[in-house]
Structure 1
Amino acid sequence: MDVTPLEETSRLAVAHCPGLLISTSARPSNRTITRPHLARILRALVVRPFGTQPLGKYSVGVAKGSGTSHDRGRRYINASPPAVAPEESFRRSVDIRLEPPCVPKQNLVFLKTHKTASSTILNILYRYGEAHNLTFALPYYDHLGYPQRFKAEYVKHFTKTHRGTFNILCNHMRFYHPEVKKVVPNDTFYFSIVRDPVWLAESSFAYYRFHSPAFSHAKSLDEFVAFPERHYRGLEPNNHYARNVMWFDFGHDNNMEDVPGYVDAVLAQLDRIFDLVLVAEYFDESLILLKEALCWDLEDVAYFKLNTRSNDSVLPLSASSVERLRAWNHLDWRLYRHYNASLWRRISSYGAQRMESDVARLKALSHRLASRCLKSSFPGRVWDPGFMPHSSGKAKIQGYVLKVNLSNDDLELCQRMVLPEKQYLTYLQRKQLISRVTDTKHGGEGGEGRREMVPKMAAAP
């Protein structure tokens, strides 16, 4: 293989690492490393020569004694504290070797469960998919046939000739795997999110207060949960919001009793389908695990909290109500405990210190973006109808006001980060329609389409 002329940094690396080849190839072989990636490695070594330093997508294992450090295709540099001068120790003991790079996953199914911080995940997926010109499996209106079990025909523009051609399926649906498989490719990554059913019920009561008959018959959540059988009729429309709504969203009978073996069988089935289930109470940790599983960058999962309620609409619950809600939503409680335990096993495998560091980096990034974009980092009342979140029941849903005089690039990013899900969905539906019309006129398929600006937000009052 031809070796490129070496710059000063390259000469330094080769002097310390005999046999290292420098290649300009965009796809490094098992024995070569491209010069831009070498520069990143050297910077990491200069800044932090001993310990663990994340470097990005191409994977580098550096020997420490007889072992190497690898982590699912991610790059880390490990070295023992030197007994001699750092340069001599590095020359003697460090062996850089390459592994195939991890490839970002772009075929995704996100089961968007209700009242679980799923709107924030949806915004992340919308932004990522739009930035990478991916095709969304969008609904005709605002959901994919919910509360009916999902059917492929609920996806706009789905036909038998379009089987498996959509990249991202992420809007509200009641999960049904046989039909979902018709829409997305075979290598699709499946994930979802769960929340403690106690606080999910509190949020649902506020949001679906007048939508679910079971809730509307009660003056308060405490009253409802004290004697739920007085208010709840299992087959009455929209009453699934009042009991085991996550279990329902995952496609199962929310009124089922916990007969021996039933829940365990369902959870085992879900484990075979879903690659990862996030937990709302550990949102940042969940996003770090998601980023790692998808081989995405940290910037891809930066976020502002969306669809949040004002503090004065969040009601306190008595200890007795908490216990009753867990008993009433026993299927959701089993589901939550299962995936909460799964999440913490994953965090343990990821490494507590590494997780703490990455969560801090994510929070710092989101804080920098808030300083760059927002008039106030705290959500509040929004008056611009183009950016006003949808509210329901007694829930007062808040949004964000952007700073004035943002640059065009900042405006494009910041608007998308605060755009409520209904408005973002309408925008994507229109954009994909324009792309399809353009493709048809040119006799092509899957064109990138024209990137549009979302509607401008009114200046802060």
Structure 2
Amino acid sequence: MLHSTSGRGRIGILIACTSFISFGYFGNTKYVDIFGNGRKSQTSNSYITSLLEYSGVPNGSTYRHGYVKNTIMKTHIAFLKVHKAGSSTLQNIFFRFGLKHMLNVLVPKTGNFLHGRYQIMPLKQNEHYDIFACHTYYRKDKFESLLPADAVKIGIVRHPLDRMISSAFFYREVSRFKYLKNVPSKRFVNNLVNFPEKYDPKYFSFTRNSMARDFGFPMFKPSDIKNIREYLDKLNLEFLLILILEQFNESLVLMKRFLNWGLIDILYLAKNAHQHEAVFFNETEVEKIKITNFLDYEIYEYFLKVFEMKLKNTSKDFYDEVTVFKTVLEKVGEFCNTKNDKLVVESSKWNDEFTVFMRDCALMNRTELSFIAFIRRKLTEN
């Protein structure tokens, strides 16, 4: 039996032909692969001007209306960037939103991982950060100390088996982590699964309970069911929304509604990369993965149920909006591969007419490190 990313609980052979370093348009194709109260203070004119050059926002625009008229957008957002779960695409969305709406986007002084407050670039007096979307390990007090009190938290999860495969190949072939380079290349992932005590012995690693580490889990035992569920319930109260990678477009439309954003704010482009050979698991190996990654399975299954409940509580026209969103994504993807000046997206029940420019394509295509460096440079100039 084929085990697929959406096949919760199904066991058998899994075929994973391609992984994606950062995710883009999913459409109908299945891909295998943060942070005092008070109103926003004014940023310097030079900073605003430089951002407008990249965002196509008319000078003087505020864009504080939501997708529902007479509502206010949520502009204080902490996104937990979960490793190898399509989070680079989400990060790009949050970065672009911050630039477009002239917000302060928090990035570390160096690198792309925020370890502590010493890495935070200082702002001018009476200013605060509005958006955080870089890697860190979740801790409630850390997140809430870096953004205004009304900030909301967003996260994302991915099926643990597919996340582990993608992570294994990426961190072996791209990041060249030593513990993964030590695994024989023939039947690489199978060796990693069958001999964890030899190749992947740590409780937390990039191929073992990685989502749990990102969400700040303690080192629970599999028998600590009560404590695990209590921690999951706590996370569910602290996060406004946990997205599901396997339902990426549905997740974005739901997030758009929760944040009162516009459809233009959740656009993204496909970024396909890092192909690897097919991976086949037998039933015994799948069961071993469930044991070594037991926390990640608990997280995924819990938040998949929460997500499905939230979908049930949406309006009847939700999937109509998802269909419109997919159509717009196709048009934007085609436009960004042309040499046209602009694309005018017509209005619908869920969006006003808006225009996409080639500079928007450039921002959607921008890599994580390049985007972080750009934001860091603009913050330094102030």
Return the TM-score normalized by structure 1. Answer: 0.61
**d(CA) in 2 for partners of 1:335, 1:260:** 12
Which range is displaced more, 279-288 or 425-434? 425-434
1:324 counterpart = 2:293: no
Q: Residue 218 of structure 1 corresponds to which residue in structure 2?
A: 183
AA of the residue aligned to 1:180: F
Q: 1:109 touches 1:168 (CA, 8 Å); kept in 2? A: yes
How far is 1:213 from its partner?
4.2
Query: In structure 2, which of residues 150, 153, 165 is the aligned counterpart of residue 187 of structure 1?
Result: 150
Q: How does 1:228-247 map to 2 (within 5 A)?
A: 228-234=196-202, 240-247=205-212
Counting aligned pairs with the same residue, the percent is 23
**d(CA) in 2 for partners of 1:253, 1:213:** 25
Q: Residue 399 of structure 1 corresponds to which residue in structure 2?
A: none
1:171 counterpart = 2:118: no
**d(CA) in 2 for partners of 1:363, 1:223:** 39
Q: How does 1:35-434 map to 2 (within 5 A)?
A: 74=68, 101-145=70-114, 150-157=115-122, 165-209=128-172, 211-219=176-184, 220-234=188-202, 240-253=205-218, 256-306=221-271, 308-310=272-274, 312-313=275-276, 315-320=278-283, 321-351=285-315, 353-374=316-337, 403-404=338-339, 406=341, 410-434=357-381
AA of the residue aligned to 2:198: R
- Where 2:144 maps in the other structure, the secondary structure is helix
Q: 1:193 touches 1:278 (CA, 8 Å); kept in 2? A: yes
How far is 1:292 from its partner?
0.3
> Number of residues paired by the alignment?
301
Q: Which runs of 5+ in 2 are unaligned?
A: 1-64, 344-355
Q: Indicate how the Cα distance of structure 1 residues 274 and 223 shifts in structure 2: closer, same or farther if over 3 A, else same.
A: same
- Structure ID, larger Rg: 1
**d(CA) in 1 for partners of 2:287, 2:206:** 18
Q: Residue 15 of structure 2 corresponds to which residue in structure 1?
A: none
**d(CA) in 1 for partners of 2:340, 2:312:** 45
Return the TM-score normalized by structure 2. Answer: 0.73
**d(CA) in 2 for partners of 1:207, 1:338:** 26
Q: 1:214 touches 1:242 (CA, 8 Å); kept in 2? A: no
**d(CA) in 2 for partners of 1:284, 1:260:** 32
How far is 1:242 from its partner?
2.1
Q: Residue 84 of structure 1 corresponds to which residue in structure 2?
A: none
How far is 1:314 from its partner?
5.1
Q: 2:244 touches 2:307 (CA, 8 Å); kept in 1? A: yes
- Where 1:242 maps in the other structure, the secondary structure is coil
Structure of greater relative contact order (alpha carbons < 8 Å, 6+ residues apart)? 2
What RMSD in Å do the two structures reach over aligned CA positions? 2.5
Q: How does 1:433-452 map to 2 (within 5 A)?
A: 433-434=380-381, 436=382
How far is 1:263 from its partner?
0.7
**d(CA) in 2 for partners of 1:407, 1:194:** 34
- Where 2:78 maps in the other structure, the secondary structure is strand
**d(CA) in 1 for partners of 2:227, 2:244:** 23
The Cα offsets for residues 129-154 of structure 1, whole Å up to 9 and x where unpaired, read as 10000001111122234xxxx43332
Q: 1:258 touches 1:331 (CA, 8 Å); kept in 2? A: no
Q: Which runs of 5+ in 1 are unaligned?
A: 1-56, 59-72, 76-100, 375-402, 437-461
**d(CA) in 2 for partners of 1:318, 1:169:** 38
